[in-house]
Amino acid sequence: MNEVICWLNMSLGLTAVLWMPYIINRLFKQGAGGMGYAENLPAVSAWAERAKKAHYNAVENLVVLAPAVFSYLLLQGSELKSIACALQVYFFARIIHYLSYTFKIPYIRTLSFSAGWASTIYIIVKVCQLANIGQ
């Protein structure tokens, strides 16, 4: 179980810091005015806007992943190695997704998103099997 919790927390930690490049760019572009509600500020860089969107996407996906993992653990699933493996795939897929989204790398962005999504779906299916849903 420790490995599952470790990889889930790595994904949580990753998502917790993905906002930083956007805010740093905003501070460089807009100065202190960017911290308030000043109008007519210079735009942030296009890559920073994409980084912000990638961060939002990571948050949206984590909202689905984390409860699925906790559900699996609460139901005392025994396939912890496969769940940990799915979480590893999710973690690295999210890194690749963030970078490919931020730096406009087509196809890789979609493939990495799909890998993370598939990892989440795998865990949800395992939860459903443990709970005897659909059987």
Give which of 17, 8, 25 is closest to 54, Cα–Cα.
17
Pick the closest to residue 127 from 58, 57, 69, 84 (CA basis). 69
Q: What is the DSSP letter of 63?
A: H
Over the stretch 68-117, which tens digit does the pLDDT of each residue have? 999 999 999 899 999 999 999 999 999 999 999 999 999 999 999 999 99
Q: Please report, for residues 9, 34, 42, 90, 128, the alpha-carbon distance to residue 22 in angstroms, rounded to integers and kept in the order given.
A: 22, 12, 14, 22, 38
Determine the residue type at 114.
S
The pLDDT of residue 135 is 61
DSSP state of 37: T
Domains and CATH numbers, the chain: 2-130 (1.20.120.550)
pTM of the entire structure? 0.93
The average confidence (pLDDT) of the chain is 94
